[in-house]
Amino acid sequence: MTNDKQQTTNNKQLIVICGATATGKSSLALALAQRLGSVILNADSRQVYQEFDIGTAKPSVAQQQQVPHYLIDICTPTQTMTLADYQQQAQALIASASSPLLLVGGTGLYLRSVIKGLKIPRVAPNQELRSQLAVLGQTQCYAFLQQVDPTAASKIHPNDQVRTLRALEVFYVTGSPISEQQGENPPDYPILQIGLECSNSDKLTYRIGQRTEQMIAAGFIAEVEFLCQKYGGDLPLLDTLGYREIKQYLAGELSLAQAKDLTVLHTRQFAKRQRTFFRAEEQIEWFDADEPDLLEKVWQRVQEFLGSIK
C-alpha cells in the first residue's frame, strides 16, 4: 500500500523513481516530468558533485534544458555533501513547491532521508577526530561504542568501520549517543514510490555493459584523466565505481578491456546491494524496466495517485 489517500493541506505531492543502477530511472523520470510539467530532484550521491559527469551518468545539458533538474552540481569535488546537508536542501525545495515533484535516484539513504524524514545528527565530519580513533583499530573502536552506545553498536556490524567511527564521532562531539538522536519524522504530504527492476539478471548485465561502453565513447577516460590532474589521484570520489577502474587503467595497472570488465562486474555487485536495500521498503510499487509499455503503465499509476489526493 502507498500513502496516496492521506489528506494534505499544502498541495504537495512527491513521486519517487528509484531502483538499482542502469534500470532506466532517469529516462523514465524525464518523460514523466515532461508530461506533468514538473521538475526533477536528484537523489544520486555522486551527481551532487561538479565535474563528475560521465561516470555518474549525470543528465546531459540537453536533458537539463528539457526539464529543470535540482540538487545536481551543488558541491565541489573537495567538499563533503553529508546526508543532513542533502536532506535539508531537498526538504527546502519540496517545501517551496506548489506542484508534483519527481525525486529520482538510486542512493537509498538520500531517498529515505526525505521519504521517512530521518532525524539526522547535525554533526559535520571531523577528520582529525576520525583519524585519532582509526589509529586505535576497529576492534578497540567498536568496544568503545559498545560501552557508550550499546543500542547503536547492536545495529552496526563489528567490522563496519565507517558507521562505528561516525557513531563515536557524534557521541564525542555532542556528548549524546547517536541512537538517541535518530528516528523518523515522516512528511505530511502524499508520496508515490515507483521502483524499477530488471527481473532478468542477464538483461541487467547487458544494460550495464552497454552503458559502460557509452561512457567510454562519450569521453569518460578523458574525464578521469582531467580530474586526476586537477585534484590528484587520492581524491575520495576518484575511488568510486567506474572512476577507480579507469584510474587504474591510466596508471597502467589494467588494460582498457580489464578496466571495462571490472567496471561491469563491480556495477553488477553494486546493483545487487541496491536491490536488497530497496526490496526492504514495503511502500515501493515495482515495475519491470524492460516492459515495452513501461511509461504508459507508470503514467497510469501516477494519474491514479494524483487523482486520489483530496
> Strands 191-197 and 285-288, how do they pair?
parallel
The answer on pLDDT for 180 being more than 50 is yes
Average pLDDT over residues 138-161: 93
Q: How far is the first Cα of the chain from the last one, in angstroms, to the nearest whole number? A: 17
Pick the CATH number of 127-181 from 3.10.20.70, 1.10.20.140, 1.10.287.70, 3.30.930.10: 1.10.20.140
The answer on pLDDT for 292 being more than 60 is yes
Instruction: Quote the CA–CA distance of 235 and 253 in Å, as a whole number.
Output: 18
Q: Is-contact 272 183, C-beta < 8 A?
A: no
Q: Record the cell numbers describing residue 174, joined without a space.
A: 555532542
The pTM is what?
A: 0.86
**Partner residues linked to 40 by β-bridges:** 69, 102
Q: Kindly list the domain boundaries of the chain, sorted by start residue.
A: 14-119+185-308, 127-181
CA distances to 47, 191, 198 from 43, rounded to whole Å, are 8, 15, 20
Q: What is the pLDDT of residues 182-236, one digit of tens each?
A: 888 999 999 999 999 998 889 999 999 999 999 999 999 999 999 999 999 999 9
Instruction: Quote the CA–CA distance of 212 and 112 in Å, as a whole number.
Output: 28
**Partner residues linked to 102 by β-bridges:** 15, 40
User: At 3, is the pLDDT very low, low, confident or very high (cuts 50, 70, 90)?
Assistant: very low
**What architecture is domain 14-119+185-308?**
3-Layer(aba) Sandwich (3.40)
Query: For residue 55, what are the contacts with CB-CB under 8 A and spacing of at least 6?
Result: 46, 215, 220, 223, 224, 241, 242, 243, 246
Q: What is the pLDDT of residues 89-125, one digit of tens each?
A: 999 999 999 889 999 999 999 999 999 999 988 888 8
Instruction: Quote the CA–CA distance of 2 and 13 in Å, as a whole number.
Output: 13
CA distances to 166, 187, 236, 238 from 115, rounded to whole Å, are 23, 7, 28, 29
Average pLDDT over residues 63-79: 96
Q: Record the cell numbers describing residue 232, joined without a space.
A: 590528484
| Residues above pLDDT 90, as percent of the chain | 84
